[in-house]
Structure 1
Amino acid sequence: MRVLLLYPLFPKSFWSFEEALELLNRKAMFPPLGLITVAALLPQDWEFKLVDRNVRAVTDAEWEWAEMVILSAMIVQKPDLLEQIREAKRRGKRVAVGGPYATALPQEVAEADYLILDEGEMTLPQFVEAIERGDTQGIFRANGEKPDVTQTPIPRYDLLDFNAYDSMSVQFSRGCPFQCEFCDIIVLYGRKPRTKTPQQLLAELDRLYELGWRGGIFMVDDNFIGNKRNVKLLLKELKGWMAERGYPFGFVTEASVDLADDPELMEMMLECNFGTVFLGIETPDEDSLEFTKKFQNTRSPLVEAVQRITKTGLRVMAGFIIGFDGEKPGAGDRIIRFVEQTTIPNPFFSMLQALPDTALWHRLKKEGRLRETQDVNGNQTNLMNFVPTRPIEEITREYIDAFWTLYDPEVYLDRVYRHIMMMGAPRVKSTAQPITFDQIRAGLTLIWRQGIKRKTRWKFWHHFLNVLRHNPRLWIKFVITCAYGEHFMVYREVVRNQLEKQLAEFLAEEQRLQVEPDSSIQSIAS
């Protein structure tokens, strides 16, 4: 079987980082870990070619070569996924689709011949059996079972073009022990975190190391510390592995805020060269946190928790959401104040969306509050897909204003500076890698934009020189975080323009619906 593994385009979003990637001459932040894991799970006498459309287009020769096209996507990739399914069918190819989007909304990808839903370790063997029988279509489900991820093979990293990506990806665990109402992770992967063995993950790192990768690795676990016991067992093994090889990788991951309550765990992460952690904070409003069942964020003061993590030595990124039920006016301003107080450089801010099959989705559907005409895609440029408890115009205006303020170039630069100055020093020193031409070009471009051309010039040089003087081991992290700002300074305009347009259309439609019933009554009366 000749299989074309096809990964659809991401739209411009928080996670796309186009402007920052352009500086380093990279095409995408992360590779499609799901698809290269699928390639490892399928029969190894099949032939595979991988095309990530965020890196390049599919060639006619690749279309002609393929006997089967397999696609995987998240909901934000929906438009291009559907287009690629149609293109593959137009070319007479058999099409199989899986991943989070297909699993949540299989009826929307029914045009595919095969739907490989849920986790691939459970459903790919069913798919292979169907192919061997000669079945021309099928839907394969796990029926509530969760796989033992200790049996998951090493992903086919050899299928990737390393030069196209900023970072590689690995996964240690699936699932999260918490019960946040809006989250689809616990729907997809369950509330009992399942982990690989330390030796298993080290074998994946060995493979990346053998293939020549050096640099960033995103530990894609939705809550890396969901099973703290197993994470600590991994970190004990990883510490020695990294030291023996001169710390060739730097790790980024996602974790719950209760990381702040475990100094030992944070120290172990730093000793393994973890440098950044993404926290799901969502809101500083405790009432909203309790209403949405994010109780883990109410156990200790959030400001203190974030500052403890930062002072230990981990750079913090965080997710924020506006539009929870019962939310009081001014939520946008409260988020701004919280971000400034904690100095979080990159707040990943969005309006609440009810994702398919989540507890929030089912509750709102039961209450008749889902807006069926509003598409849900998980992006930051869409209106809410349900009727909130306060006016949608009020929420949208607060969101636009807060987003615009948070990523004002001078405000952003100040926040980056204060965060880096608050951070504890790294525990390890990576093996020096040769500086590349792309890195030199990126640095000079950043200096030109933020240190000469823009009104940020005085702040940039003041902050940069102070970091060199008072926290010199973090000057590279300061520059990299400044570079991230290039994306957000552009993206805030995209958010404002698209949401203002959608809001105007929404309000016009609301006004039309209010006027039309009166017109009908007058017509009947006359």
Structure 2
Amino acid sequence: MKALLLYPQFPQSFWSYDRFMEIAGLKAAIPPLGIITVAALLPQDWEIRFCDRNVNPETETDWEWCDLVILSAMLVQKADFHALIRKAANLGKPVAVGGPYPTSVPQAALDSGANYLILDEGENTVPQFLEAIAQGQTHGIFRSPEKPDVTQSPVPRFDLLQRDAYLMMAIQFSRGCPFNCEFCDIIALYGRKPRTKEPSQTLTELQALYDLGWRGSLFIVDDNFIGNQRNVKRLLRELIPWMEERRYPFTFITEASVNLAEDRELLDLMAQAGFYAVFLGIETPDQDSLQVTRKLQNTRNPLVEACRKINQAGLLIYAGFILGFDGERSGAGDRIQAFVEQTSIPQPMLGILQALPNTALWNRLQAEQRLLDHQGAAVGDQNTLMNFVPTRPISDVAQEYLKALWTLYEPANYLSRCYQQCLQIVPYSKQKQTMQFSPKQGLRLVAQLIWHQGLRRAETRKQFWQQLGAILYQKPQVLNMYLGLCAAGEHFWEYRVLARDRITQQLGYDPLYTSPSLEASPVLVH
């Protein structure tokens, strides 16, 4: 079998870092770990061609060559995902699809013409698909109610990647999360019992990347890296000597719940292993909204203090925030903005709440007859308006969202937070605990940064040189991290304009400049 594996394009979004990638001479932030794991599950006698369309689009020759097309996609990739299914159908090529999007909304893939739906987790359903192919079946939907034992997962096919096109590589240690946040689809997809790989298994994956020549940052893509704290400590205790023996070839970033701040031993182990950053789902400083959305782990201790502890352990903080929870009080955007400034989180991901298919929020809103889209088709990027009837005017939520986003990513505000966050971090002393760039990438990035922020742009010129000098004098060990954060600002200053255009298009007016009556809004509250 000649299989063409394709990963659809992402639209421009908060996480696409488009301008940053251009400055650094890269194509994408991280590779698609799911589909290269599927590639490792396919028979060894199959011929495989893989194209991440965010890096190297396939050619017409690839389409002519293949016997089968395999796609994997997340919700945000749906436009290109459906276009690829339709193209395969038009060319008479059978197409198999999988990943979070078709698993959540399988009918949409069938409607576009997909032949095979390989849903849920591939370790269980790819073998079902292969058996159907061997029996000559031309269609099929393959599901498994059981969660696979990830200790049996194969090493992903890192060799298929154009590795020098990515900012960082990616591995996965665990799936699932023990918490019960109402809006989150992770527990719907992967369950509430975190399943982890064996430490030796993860080290084998790291060794594979090391042997392929990768040096630099690695994203551990777990939705909650510390979901099983016992096993993650086992991993870290074996990772530390592995890293020391190889003179710290990688630095790590991951996602974790805020209760990370409660475990100093875990924080210390992460620092010793080479972690430089963590993404936290903070969502909101409003305690009543955290209660409503069942994010109770964020209510146990003061969030500002939690951020301080994580910084003191040597970790840069990225964080997500959401507007639009039920019962949310007016001014939520201002309170998020104040929290971000207080904690100096450089890149707050601010989004408007979406009800994702099959989540507890989706099911509740459906029972309350408040869903505006019952197929999940309207779910989009962080700047898509709610797909349900909110408890306060949508115009208020949209206005607070844009006001907060616009102010937080004002160049002076953004650069100040980058500076303050880097000063707050207490790096682990044994190694450079920061994001890494190749010499070529680093030189290009610094040259572009000096030109754009230090010379060309008058509004950043003085601040850029003052802060750069202070970092060099006070904390030179975080210089790479600081420069990387500054360069990312070029993306966010463009992104806030895009977000404003998208919200304006959906509302039919610019909420930053008008205060229309509720009746003017296209989405009305009951």
TM-score band w.r.t. shorter chain: over 0.9
Q: Distance in 1 between matches of 2:283 and 2:432?
A: 33
SS in 1 for 2:391: coil
Match of 2:450 in 1: 447
The equivalent of 1:521 in structure 2 is none
Partner of residue 439, structure 2:
436
* Corresponding residue number in structure 1 for 2:243: 242
8 Å contact from structure 2 (residues 285, 339) kept in 1:
yes
Change in 2 beyond 3 A, CA 1:458/1:197:
same
1:373-396 CA-to-partner distances (Å, cap 9, x unmatched) read 884334023111111100000000
Shift of 1:88: 1.0
Q: Is the 8 A contact 1:37 1:156 kept in 2?
A: yes
CA distance in 2, matches of 1:371, 1:286: 27
Partner of 1:95: 95
* Match of residue 75 from structure 1: 75
1:375–1:385 contact (8 Å) kept in structure 2: no
Counterpart position of 2:335: 334
Following superposition, the deviation at residue 452 of structure 1 comes to 1.6
For residues 508 and 156 of structure 1, do their structure 2 counterparts lie closer, same or farther at Cα, with a shift above 3 Å needed? farther
Q: Deviations over 1:204-235 (max 9, x none)?
A: 00100111111110000000000000000000
Alpha-carbon shift at residue 151 of structure 1 (Å): 0.2
Shift of 1:431: 11
Alignment partners' CA distance in 1, 2:322 and 2:406: 15
Give 1:45 shift: 1.3
CA contact (8 A) 1:174 1:194 kept: yes
Q: Please give the alpha-carbon distance, in whole angstroms, between the structure 2 residues aligned to 1:327 and 1:137.
A: 46
Match of 1:15 in 2: 15
Q: Which residue of 1 aligns with 2:389?
A: 387
Structure 2 counterpart SS, 1:372: coil
- Give 1:166-177 correspondences, 5 Å limit: 166-177=167-178
**Does the Cα contact within 8 Å between 2:118 and 2:142 map onto a contact in 1?**
yes
In structure 1, the partner of 2:57 is 57
1:467: Cα distance to partner? 1.1
Counterpart CA distance in 2 for 1:477 and 1:389 is 41
Output the CA distance in 1 between the equivalents of 2:364 and 2:83: 32
Query: How is 1:341-352 mapped onto 2 (pairs within 5 angstroms)?
Result: 341-352=342-353
Matched, 1:471 2:475: yes
What is the Cα deviation at residue 317 of structure 1? 0.1
| 1:337, distance to aligned residue in structure 2 (A) | 0.1
Corresponding residue of 2:114: 112
CA shift for structure 1 position 504:
1.4
Deviation at 1:438, TM superposition (A): 3.5
Q: Does 1:233 align with 2:237?
A: no
- Equivalent residues in 2 for 1:125-524 (5 A)? 125-142=127-144, 144-372=145-373, 375-430=377-432, 436-454=439-457, 455-504=459-508
Give the letter for the 1:88 counterpart: A
Check if 1:30 corresponds to 2:30.
yes
SS of residue paired to 1:456 = helix
TM-score by length of 2: 0.95
Amino acid corresponding to residue 467 of structure 2 in structure 1: H
How big is the shift at 1:286?
0.2
Q: Which digits, 9 at most, give the CA deviation of each residue in 1:65-88, with x for residues without a partner?
A: 110000000000000000000011
* In 1: Cα distance, 2:353 partner to 2:152 partner: 36
Instruction: Give distance in 2, aligned partners of 1:54 and 1:136.
Output: 29
Amino acid at match of 1:267: D
CA contact (8 A) 1:273 1:428 kept: no
The 3 A distance-change label for structure 1 pair 435 and 175 is closer
Deviation of 1:508 (Å): 11
1: distance between equivalents of 2:207 and 2:446?
31
CA shift for structure 1 position 511:
5.3
Look up the equivalent residue of 2:83 and give its one-letter code.
Answer: E
Checking the alignment, whether the CA contact within 8 Å between 2:275 and 2:315 is kept in structure 1 is: yes
Q: What is the distance in 2 between the residues matched to 1:220 and 1:100?
A: 14
Cα RMSD (Å)? 1.9
Letter in 2 for 1:92: G
Report the CA distance between 1:430 and its aligned residue: 5.0
Structure showing greater Rg: 1
SS at match of 2:16: coil
Q: Which secondary structure state, in structure 2, belongs to the residue aligned with residue 80 of structure 1?
A: helix
Q: State the SS of the aligned residue for 1:439.
A: helix
Q: Residue 309 of structure 1: SS of its match in structure 2?
A: helix
CA contact under 8 A between 2:394 and 2:521: conserved in structure 1?
no
Change (3 A) 1:241 1:83: same
Contact 2:278 2:316 survives alignment (8 Å): yes
CA positional deviation for 1:55: 0.8
SS of structure 2 residue aligned to 1:15: helix
Cα pair 2:172 2:221 within 8 Å, conserved:
yes
**Structure 1 unmatched ranges of 5 or more:** 515-526
Shift of 1:39: 0.6
- Structure 1, 320-329 or 372-381: larger mean CA deviation: 372-381
Deviating beyond 4 angstroms after TM superposition, the runs of 4 or more aligned structure 1 residues are 430-435, 505-514
Deviation at 1:60? 1.1
Does the CA-based 8 Å contact 2:218-2:252 persist in structure 1? yes
Superposed CA deviations along residues 453-510 of structure 1, whole A, max 9, x for unmatched, are 2211111111111111111111111111111111111000000111012111798996
Counterpart of 2:85?
85
Any idea what the Cα deviations from partners look like across 1:87-137, whole Å, max 9, x if unmatched?
Answer: 111111110000000000000000200000000011011000000000000
Structure 2 residue ranges without an equivalent (≥5): 511-515
- Name the counterpart of 2:513: none
Which letter maps to 2:482? F
User: Is the Cα contact below 8 Å between 1:353 and 1:376 reproduced in 2?
Assistant: no
| Alignment size in residue pairs | 513
| Distance (whole Å) between structure 1 residues aligned to residue 387 and residue 104 of structure 2 | 16
What is the DSSP-based 3-state SS (H/G/I as helix, E as strand, rest coil) of the residue aligned with 2:285?
Answer: coil
Question: Residue 517 of structure 1 aligns with which residue?
Answer: none
Alignment CA distance shift 1:187-1:431 (3 Å): closer
User: Per-residue deviation at 1:372?
Assistant: 2.1
Q: Distance in 1 between matches of 2:151 and 2:502?
A: 44
The code of the aligned residue for 2:122 comes to: G
Kept in 1: contact 2:102–2:108 (CA 8 A): yes
1:247–1:431 contact (8 Å) kept in structure 2? no
Task: Note if contact 1:355-1:378 (Cα within 8 Å) is conserved in structure 2.
Answer: no
Which residue of structure 2 aligns with residue 121 of structure 1?
A: 123
- Please state how far the C-alpha of 1:423 moved relative to its aligned partner: 0.6
Kindly indicate whether the alpha-carbon contact (under 8 Å) linking 2:175 and 2:223 is maintained by their aligned counterparts in 1.
yes
